[in-house]
Amino acid sequence: MNFSCKTFLFSCVLLLIASGCTKEAKPIKVDPEVFHKSVDKVTEIMIHDIFSPPVASRVYAYPNIAAYEIMALNNEGYLSLSNQAKELTQIPLPDSSKQINHALAAIIAHIDMSKRLIFSEKRLESFRDSLYHVWEAQNEQEFNNSKEYGLKVAAHIATWMDKDNYNQTRTMPKFTVDTDDPTRWQPTPPAYMDGIEPHWNKIRPFVIDSASQFKPVPPPPFSMEEGTEFYNEVKEVYDISMNIAKEGDDSEEIAIAQFWDCNPYVSVTRGHLMFATKKYLQVHIG
């Protein structure tokens, strides 16, 4: 057997070995827990970035709508929000010639939309890239097709989101404090925080006509006269606060208040030092 023949046979053997070792691409299975982790990651970042509760609601809403709209395409039990949520049009339909994993595309859209709404983008990118690495290794073509579609839907939702008047409200004046009017809300110690989102009612609602559609019952008329409804409610709050102060920070009322407190940080005063404590760090603010 001459040299060229041996070389040919050797090449064939190597080709057979390589083909036998090639990992067969299988459909990517998306565990619902991955989506839960994505939402948890966004929550963690919002705490770090110190978003107020109203703004946090917006950060949650749009990414989840993007994910839901993709899943609704492939599930008869889901009804699309297009033409139901204000000004939301149908998302782009996937290319029928391409293999699309709807669950995978939904998570990718959720992550991309979330990234548009937070400050600490690098934290979310690290989480995203770790997932991308796993999915791409499992089935590169399915991953790329699903990624392309998920990002396309995210861009569609982002265009709709950008018209909700949120950006415009960022430039509007802060809540006006009128110290001469005792009926007006004023910042309270120890943090003296500004009134949160005084122009939130100007943002486009998702379903209702406007913020005025469901007006709450007005509070009792302001009065510091003993025996009036307003005075009695103020006195009740005052008495409870005095009892809590006596019982200390370990009281049941403090535990209940902390459980229901949705702010990402707590203002703490130590003498002349005021600082904010959060789940992951402390920030000196005064």
Residue 1 reports pLDDT greater than 70: no
Q: What's the token pair of residue 123?
A: 């934290």
Split at pLDDT 50, 70, 90, the class of 34 is: very high
Rounded to whole angstroms, the Cα distance separating 60 from 41 reads 11
DSSP single-letter state for residue 280: S
- pLDDT value, residue 257: 83
Rounded to whole angstroms, the Cα distance separating 276 from 191 reads 9
For residue 17, report the phi and psi dihedrals to the nearest 5 degrees.
-65, -45
162 is a domain residue: yes
Residue 232 reports pLDDT greater than 90: yes
- pLDDT value, residue 265: 65
54 is a domain residue: yes
For residues 220-233, average pLDDT? 96
Residue 135 reports pLDDT greater than 90: yes
Residue 75 reports pLDDT greater than 60: yes
134 is a domain residue: yes
Residue 19 reports pLDDT greater than 60: no
- Provide, for the chain, the percentages of residues in helix, strand and coil under a 3-state DSSP scheme, each rounded to the nearest 5: 50, 5, 45
Split at pLDDT 50, 70, 90, the class of 193 is: confident
Residue 163, CA distances (Å) to 34, 66, 92, 169, 179 in order: 30, 16, 18, 12, 36
- From the number of C-beta atoms within 10 Å of its C-beta (0-12, 13-18, 19+), residue 188 rates as exposed
- pLDDT value, residue 233: 96
176 is a domain residue: no
- pLDDT value, residue 274: 66
Rg of the chain over CA atoms, in angstroms? 28
Residue 24 reports pLDDT greater than 60: yes
Residue 134 reports pLDDT greater than 70: yes
Residue 7 reports pLDDT greater than 50: yes
The domain tally of the chain equals 1
Q: Which domain holds residue 66?
A: 32-169
CA angle 116, 118, 123 (to 5 degrees): 105
Rounded to whole angstroms, the Cα distance separating 108 from 274 reads 40
118 is a domain residue: yes
Split at pLDDT 50, 70, 90, the class of 61 is: very high
Q: Which residue has the higher pLDDT, 212 or 11?
A: 212
Share above pLDDT 70 across residues of the chain, in percent, rounded to a whole number: 84
- pLDDT value, residue 285: 34
Tell me the torsion sign for CA atoms 77, 83, 89, 90: positive
Split at pLDDT 50, 70, 90, the class of 18 is: very low
- pLDDT value, residue 116: 98
266 is a domain residue: no
Least Cα distance to 279 among 262, 250, 11, 243 occurs for: 262
277 is a domain residue: no
Please say whether the beta carbons of 276 and 268 come within 8 A.
yes
49 is a domain residue: yes
Please say whether the beta carbons of 146 and 106 come within 8 A.
no
For residues 157-162, average pLDDT? 98
Rounded to whole angstroms, the Cα distance separating 138 from 27 reads 8
Mean pLDDT in the chain? 87
- pLDDT value, residue 80: 97
Interacting residues of 73 by C-beta distance below 8 A, sequence separation 6+: 80, 91, 93, 94, 102
- Dihedral through CA 182, CA 188, CA 192, CA 193, nearest 10? -90
Least Cα distance to 107 among 78, 150, 165, 141 occurs for: 150
Q: Which residue has the higher pLDDT, 7 or 273?
A: 273
Split at pLDDT 50, 70, 90, the class of 188 is: confident
Q: Is 158 helix (H, G, I), strand (E, B) or coil?
A: helix
